[in-house]
Structure 1
Amino acid sequence: MMFFGTLVLLIMLVFGMPVAFALGIAGMVGLFTIGGLSMVEGILRTVALSTTSSYELLTIPMFILMAEFIIVSRIADELFDCAKTWIGRTPAGLAISTALAGAGFGAISGSSTASAATLSATTIPAMLRNDYNPRFASGVVAISGPLAMLIPPSIALILYGLIADISIGKLLIAGIIPGLLVTCVIILTSLLLVMIFPHFAPAGRAYSMAEKFRSLTIIGPMVILITLVTGCIYLGIATPTESASLGAFGAMCIALARKRLSFQSFYTALRKAAATSCMIVMIIICAHIFSYYFTLTGVTQDLVALVASLDVETWVILLLIILLYLVLGCFMDQIAILFLTVPITLPIILALGYDPFWFGVVVIITAEIGLVTPPIGLNVFVVSAYSNVKVKDIFIGVSPHVVAHLLVIALLAIFPAIVTWLPETVR
């Protein structure tokens, strides 16, 4: 019976049905094969309320609204300009500025698609005007966008925390050091490429110290906002939900102070945040319907027992799970991957003795890779749409960064304390 519902799900996903409806319909079909119409009706009566009554679920719309206000304020332009002022004169300086702007924008948006679109419109034209290689420039932008999935506030980490039923506050804090590590890896990869191919990125113009310090005053409100959101969670002053609300209010204040928030833009930000939140909540509800089916078939317990009986090293099983995520990331939406796989893979990971916070970060980094690898590579198509660089060229330009990200995963597997140390210090 397990395979019938799963087959229905895969068929609907192949034919392009939205993830939420595919999960819900497949779950209902599977439940019907187990317990008939009465079981389906009983679960449908309760699943919506039981799923959406979680207080921590409010974190998602608040962080999405925060991102929308930040987009309205157009602060991403200033992030790039500030970084360019300080390091733009060095070889690959604009590429490094792009990575730093991606990390900064990710720290206040949580949306990889929004980050990729904003960076594409801002940084690629600047790099091309300075005779950067288009493949090199677009590759840096494509890989910098997904940083928003890892650096808090991260919608992907919040969703993982809800699925795994672990502390979202600690999970967000767990993403800080790996997020900084990935940012440094993007920078180092860019520098290495320029050392090998100097014509990829000529040096830019120099700026005076007065100009450099003036640029810091522009991004001051953003730094305060990041400190407010992340610091309150780390110090235990506020819950993630309360911090998200403070962040949304702070982002609105920044947009007002910059005179970018009109009635129309305010309404648009609210409408987009509501639409995105409803989409995510719908996926969560339908994923719970499907998870009921999986639970009743006992597939998770059977898989854990099967893994326990295998006479292989734990790292072999871990490697196979990571490879599974890398392959799925090439074909499927990242939110769908989380809801489809985490309920199955997390019990196996826990049975192997790995930390759930560490596994969440690793899953998100593999999702980052999936966003820039063919054939789907959502962020590559977003960058191409905003920059008019060919999709093929962006895939070529981002490939060295994909290899570097795989090395990061290997590093985290060898030294899990890179992820687990900071959340253990949270109050």
Structure 2
Amino acid sequence: MVTGITFLSLFVLLAAGMPIGFAMGVSGAVGLWLLGGADTVTGVLTTTPLSTVSTYELLSIPMFILMAEFVIVSRIAEELYDAMVIWVGRVRGGLAIATAFAGAGFGAICGSSTAGAATLASISLPAMLRHGYEERLANGVVAISGTLAMLIPPALALVLYGLLTELSVSKLLLAGLVPGLLVTLLIAATVLLLVTQDPSRAPKGQRYTMMEKIRSLRVVGPMLVLIMLVTGLIYLGLATPTEASSLGALGACLIALVRGKLTFASFAAAIASAARTSAMITMIILGAHIFGYALALTQATQMLVDAISGLPVNRYVVIALVLLIKLALGCFLDQFAILLLTVPIMVPLIVKLGFDPIWFGVVLVLTAEVGMVTPPVGMNAFVVARYTGRPVEEVFAGIWPHFIAHILAIIFFVAFPIVVLWLPNTMSH
């Protein structure tokens, strides 16, 4: 009864337009009040904020966000895309393939899916449309390429998953690297398949000399420095994610300064933007903790886990159902909201079924990638539609081939978890 009222109040508040963090906090407080009265609510509300913000690993989120802000200021993304065009632009559909590779590169120094989609939409979309690319193809590849930032370190979604489950954030970030690179190649392969089926969708590009290609790599240097400061140091065991994120933010700031792009105004704007985003995410985590306390007191999660794990079905059937639920939720909710709502229930279940929670985190985030581009609330699709001025339905139409490809990728990673777990199992401790 209490569990039902708690969830009902959550959905009512979300439907009314209340931000997810506040909605979870208020509905969780309602559940706590029904279970233990005002004293229980007061006890949780006076201790949870401090315990939430004092988590050491939480510092990595504002630092990764700040790194992304300085990367945007430095305008590395634009030059990275230009370099990718020089290397693969001659192939039919090369600008779209370059968009996928640039999305992976930007994701490796950004961590935000929406920021990735917005950056690619402003850079690569005009170039593709100017060269006569089919609008559906161009819109679809930009929207899906932006989601690569959710998997490739520093992936904020994986950091949040680690904070919620108290798993190693280092291992989670490394676990997302190989799947992220494979999904990048999958996006490129999907583009090649589409232009092979119908060459009118994309023309061939300009030919470049080897010297021009080599010169274009100068932009890769700063990017490699940032990647080494973050992923490299984590893999070698020389820095924690929090330390690596701080070094990454400092490195991105210095790169913007050396390139002459950092002014007082742009510096202040980057700090303010990072602070706003960090405050929003922190409030979401705080609300999730309050909501989680209410669920824990009702023991609803444990009863649900015991009931599902006791069903006489293969455990892969349960995983399939869990991921289908995640896909369905992705059509209506933001990826952070889905993680916060489902992780406290899903992770105990998959652990009891004998699955690795690190592997599950990567698969869950990959599933969230699909949610970022599926109707009716695919955030990346709306970002691309805003930049192009085209109907969002047109963007969704261009995404469907990539949607099918991503579903196949999810099935592959479920069938072969070693692909996800290999790299984190080899990291230095």
- The TM-score, its normalising length taken from structure 1, stands at 0.99
The answer for the alignment partner of 1:130 in structure 2 is 131
* Per-residue deviation, 1:105: 0.3
Rounded Cα–Cα distance in structure 1 between residues aligned with 2:309 and 2:275: 44
Q: Which runs of 5+ in 2 are unaligned?
A: none
C-alpha deviations, 1:123-178, integer Å up to 9, x for none?
A: 01101111100100110000000100110001110000000110000100000000
The answer for the alignment partner of 1:410 in structure 2 is 411
Rounded Cα–Cα distance in structure 1 between residues aligned with 2:166 and 2:230: 22
Rounded Cα–Cα distance in structure 1 between residues aligned with 2:396 and 2:285: 31
The question of 1:208 aligning with 2:179 is answered no
The answer for the alignment partner of 2:42 in structure 1 is 41
Which runs of structure 2 are paired with 1:133-148 in the superposition (5 Å)? 133-148=134-149
Rounded Cα–Cα distance in structure 2 between residues aligned with 1:134 and 1:371: 19
The answer for the alignment partner of 1:116 in structure 2 is 117
The answer for the alignment partner of 2:71 in structure 1 is 70
The answer for the alignment partner of 1:238 in structure 2 is 239
The question of 1:170 aligning with 2:171 is answered yes
- The one-letter code sitting in structure 2 at the alignment partner of 1:202 is P
* Per-residue deviation, 1:389: 2.6
Which runs of structure 2 are paired with 1:416-427 in the superposition (5 Å)? 416-427=417-428
Which runs of structure 2 are paired with 1:18-33 in the superposition (5 Å)? 18-33=19-34
C-alpha deviations, 1:304-340, integer Å up to 9, x for none?
A: 1101321111111110000000000000011111111
Rounded Cα–Cα distance in structure 2 between residues aligned with 1:325 and 1:226: 30
Rounded Cα–Cα distance in structure 2 between residues aligned with 1:306 and 1:401: 35
Q: Secondary structure at the match of 1:108?
A: coil
> Is contact 1:326–1:367 with CA below 8 Å preserved after alignment?
yes
Which runs of structure 2 are paired with 1:88-103 in the superposition (5 Å)? 88-103=89-104
The answer for the alignment partner of 1:340 in structure 2 is 341
C-alpha deviations, 1:251-296, integer Å up to 9, x for none?
A: 0011011101000000000000011101111111111000000000
Rounded Cα–Cα distance in structure 2 between residues aligned with 1:364 and 1:306: 25
C-alpha deviations, 1:83-113, integer Å up to 9, x for none?
A: 0001101111101100000000000000111
> Is contact 1:133–1:201 with CA below 8 Å preserved after alignment?
yes
Q: Secondary structure at the match of 1:109?
A: coil
Q: Secondary structure at the match of 2:369?
A: helix
The answer for the alignment partner of 2:290 in structure 1 is 289
Which runs of structure 2 are paired with 1:266-281 in the superposition (5 Å)? 266-281=267-282
Rounded Cα–Cα distance in structure 1 between residues aligned with 2:212 and 2:401: 34
Moved more, 326-335 or 11-20: 11-20
* Per-residue deviation, 1:233: 0.1
* Per-residue deviation, 1:219: 2.4
> Is contact 1:99–1:186 with CA below 8 Å preserved after alignment?
yes
Rounded Cα–Cα distance in structure 1 between residues aligned with 2:356 and 2:31: 31
The answer for the alignment partner of 1:397 in structure 2 is 398
- The one-letter code sitting in structure 2 at the alignment partner of 1:35 is G
Rounded Cα–Cα distance in structure 1 between residues aligned with 2:21 and 2:134: 40
> Is contact 1:138–1:389 with CA below 8 Å preserved after alignment?
no
Which runs of structure 2 are paired with 1:317-336 in the superposition (5 Å)? 317-336=318-337
* Per-residue deviation, 1:372: 0.5
The question of 1:368 aligning with 2:369 is answered yes
Q: Secondary structure at the match of 1:219?
A: helix
The answer for the alignment partner of 2:305 in structure 1 is 304
> Is contact 1:4–1:30 with CA below 8 Å preserved after alignment?
yes
The question of 1:349 aligning with 2:350 is answered yes
The question of 1:179 aligning with 2:180 is answered yes
* Per-residue deviation, 1:225: 1.2
Rounded Cα–Cα distance in structure 2 between residues aligned with 1:243 and 1:226: 10
- The one-letter code sitting in structure 2 at the alignment partner of 1:203 is K
* Per-residue deviation, 1:367: 0.7
Rounded Cα–Cα distance in structure 1 between residues aligned with 2:195 and 2:362: 29
C-alpha deviations, 1:9-47, integer Å up to 9, x for none?
A: 011111211101100100000100000000000111100
> Is contact 1:169–1:240 with CA below 8 Å preserved after alignment?
yes
Rounded Cα–Cα distance in structure 2 between residues aligned with 1:227 and 1:203: 34
> Is contact 1:134–1:389 with CA below 8 Å preserved after alignment?
no
* Per-residue deviation, 1:390: 2.1
Rounded Cα–Cα distance in structure 2 between residues aligned with 1:108 and 1:121: 18
Q: Which runs of 5+ in 1 are unaligned?
A: none
Rounded Cα–Cα distance in structure 1 between residues aligned with 2:316 and 2:210: 50
Q: CA RMSD in A?
A: 0.7
> Is contact 1:62–1:248 with CA below 8 Å preserved after alignment?
yes
> Is contact 1:358–1:416 with CA below 8 Å preserved after alignment?
yes
Rounded Cα–Cα distance in structure 2 between residues aligned with 1:148 and 1:113: 9
* Per-residue deviation, 1:179: 0.2
The answer for the alignment partner of 2:54 in structure 1 is 53
Moved more, 258-267 or 13-22: 13-22
Q: Secondary structure at the match of 1:153?
A: coil
The answer for the alignment partner of 2:198 in structure 1 is 197
Rounded Cα–Cα distance in structure 2 between residues aligned with 1:360 and 1:212: 38
* Sequence identity (%): 57
Q: Secondary structure at the match of 2:427?
A: coil
C-alpha deviations, 1:202-234, integer Å up to 9, x for none?
A: 100111111111100122111121122110000
C-alpha deviations, 1:60-85, integer Å up to 9, x for none?
A: 00000000000111111111100000
Rounded Cα–Cα distance in structure 2 between residues aligned with 1:137 and 1:363: 27
Rounded Cα–Cα distance in structure 1 between residues aligned with 2:370 and 2:18: 24
The answer for the alignment partner of 1:260 in structure 2 is 261
Rounded Cα–Cα distance in structure 2 between residues aligned with 1:72 and 1:219: 16
The structure 1 segments of at least 4 consecutive aligned residues displaced by more than 3 Å after TM superposition are: none
Q: Secondary structure at the match of 2:261?
A: coil
The answer for the alignment partner of 2:359 in structure 1 is 358
* Per-residue deviation, 1:201: 0.8
